[in-house]
Amino acid sequence: VADRPTARRADATRNRERILRSAREAFGEADLEVSMAEVARRSGVGSATLYRNFPSRRDLLEALYVDEVDEICAAAATVDGAGAGARFTAWLHRFFEFATSKRSIAIGLLEHSDRSNPVFRTSRDRVLAAGRPLLSAARERGEITEDLTLEQILDLLVAVAKIPGDPDHLRAMLRTVLAGLRHRAEDVPGDAD
């Protein structure tokens, strides 16, 4: 009798995770055109359970988004590379994969909802905090220039991620941006125009 509440909690957690997994697949396949009813059907839970976990479609999208942010932050500690510059760059690749593969969810949510949403502000701060030590280490070794702040670097990656086109097309642009991060920018005569 004593373990019933625990079992119930474990059940609830399983349901929540099952919903998130199915929702991630469904949104990934069908852009944002997925109804709550479809999410309930695919995850095999009743709609009461779905709505108890995620009172609105937006709550569900936010939870998916936060999950991805958790992964990006965790990757900063585990990412591999020969040297600080390579590790920072590898992490940027992970961030970029997130920004492109999750574009439907993250960008959709971003654009259809309030940008002042605390979920976004918090996520941004968390990602910046996770990436900052990698950037500092790469700079100390002179492997990444001082030309841009981490905020600017991530803004640049998000901008590239939003360009329409297939992943290879975008990845080539990402590589150019990364090459730019390794080489000091010059002032260009045309600048004053």
Q: In terms of CB distance, is 11 or 155 closer to its own copies?
A: 155
| Of 31, 155, 166, 167, the one binding its own copies by CB under 8 A | 155
Nearest to residue 13, comparing CAs of 24, 23, 21? 21
- Helices (H) then strands (E): counts for the chain: 9, 0
Instruction: With H, G, I as helix, E, B as strand and everything else as coil, classify residue 34.
Output: coil
Would you say 37 or 185 has its CB closer to its own copies?
185
Residue with tokens 């260009």: 188
Looking from the CA of 182 toward its CB, the CA atoms found within 13 Å total 13
Residue number with CB closer to its own copies (14 or 121): 121
Q: Which stretch binds its own copies (CB under 8 A): 17-25, 47-55, 120-128, 140-148?
A: 140-148
Q: In 10 A of CB 121, how many CB atoms?
A: 11
Per CB under 8 A, the list member of 16, 24, 93, 102 interacting with its own copies is: 93
Taking the C-alpha atoms of residue 52 and residue 118, their distance in angstroms, rounded to an integer, is 22
Residue 36 found at the interface with its own copies (CB under 8 A): no
**Does the protein bind its own copies through residue 152 (CB under 8 A)?**
yes
Among 3, 114, 166, 186, indicate the residue that binds its own copies (CB under 8 A): 186
Nearer to its own copies, 12 or 172 (CB): 172
What is the per-residue burial (b if ≥16 Cβ within 10 Å, else e) of 38-71? Answer: ebbebbebeeebbeebbeeeeebbbbbbeebbee
Q: Counting contacts by CB under 8 A, is residue 163 touching its own copies?
A: yes
Site residues, its own copies (CB under 8 A): 79-82, 86, 89-94, 97, 145, 147-148, 152, 155-156, 159-160, 162-163, 165, 169, 171-173, 175-191, 193
